Homo-oligomer: A and B are copies of this chain.
């Protein structure tokens, strides 16, 4: 009996396996053929054939390991060609614009950054970012190849078309950033655009603190609060790509008006402004101002200490809600929430132990990002590499 349609063709199986092998070395770095055979559950001759294809495509190289402790012929080591294959990663942050050329394997090969003038609309950042890319392109080796580009944007981002719908702290303009950048750079398709918190969840789940964890909440703090959620190993994107806007979960019905038009949203209690005002620094803004409060607390400043306790208590409050709703096994605190969590971990844990359901608080781990400040850039690169890993031999210039 023929089941031609549902059975994947040899070609599909090959593509999937090429992607699996390339993904493995992209995440784990140089790996011996023997280990690949073991980890991917494929036989030796298949691994050999896949590696040969990827070598021909200049995506990996093979070499004899320098030294092995064992007798006999050593297993060849497969290494991603980080210096030959790269993606451009762009990050549009509240007060900074960053760009990097990231090699296959997740290595930052080159980078550029500039201040973002306060209030500069997102679409008007395209010129600066495109300039960064052109500059890095000139500096890249002649024999290197670009496989695409990704953009992380602080604010709310529509998944499918890259239209930014709400991003009050970032610029407030609806614009097709990905398309604008793609066409400015002369790429044959739009760059992939996603929310900073979503790419944070992606990259920390791929190669960071949450590697191996299938139910993850990644929180990103700056002016506002974003969240990226992994449920059952997959990103929760929602119907229109807006899933994960936990910063606009209302935690305090009698709280302050929020930029989104509602009142008492989580980000009104744990965003930058909440901390700075409580600490008696109402005029200040930005990451450095937040870090200054944390430093002051370490130096014994009572107002700073109290502000951190108060805001970290609200941080724990919202985390508990998400924990009860999602039953994650890991929560990662990124952006300025990293420092807030480290300074106020006691408040967060106290809320968890008194408010979270026992079944939901068992086994949960609270962590900070392994990739630190590079999370948005590395996540943006990961967006671009996703396309390559899905079909390694076809991906052109992104």
Contact = CB atoms under 8 A, between A and B. Distances in A.
B158 A239 contact: no
Interface string A1-23: 11111111010011011001000
Contacts of A325: 227, 229, 243-246, 249, 322, 325
A355 interface: yes
Interface in A320-350: 320-322, 324-329
B215 A359 contact: no
Interface string A351-368: 000111111101110000
Interface stretch (A41-49, A130-138, A295-303, A373-381): A41-49
A139 interface: no
A65 interface: no
Contacts of A252: 253
A238 B250 contact: no
Interface residues of A, number: 72
A52 B238 CA distance: 40
Contact of A43 (B2, B46, B357): B2
This chain's copy number in the assembly: 2
Interface in A249-269: 249-253, 260-263
Interface in A218-235: 227, 229, 231-232, 234
> Which 6 pairs show the lowest CB-CB distances between chains A and B?
A238-B327, A239-B329, A242-B327, A262-B355, A1-B49, A243-B327
A248 interface: yes
A155 to B, nearest CB: 11
Contact of A165 (B244, B245, B359): B359
A125 interface: no
A358 B41 contact: no
A46 B321 CA distance: 49
A14 B3 contact: yes
Nearest to A2: B46
A236 interface: yes
Nearest to A255: B253
A173 interface: no
17 contacts: A2-B45, A3-B42, A5-B41, A6-B20, A158-B359, A166-B359, A231-B231, A236-B326, A238-B326, A240-B359, A240-B362, A245-B324, A245-B357, A248-B324, A250-B317, A251-B253, A325-B325
Contact of A17 (B6, B46, B241, B327): B6
Best-surrounded residue of A41, A214, A357, A363 (most CB of chain B within 10 A)? A357
A60 B44 CA distance: 44
A129 interface: no
Given A166-B358, A363-B240, A13 B2 contact: no
Contacts of A357: 156, 166, 242, 245, 248, 260
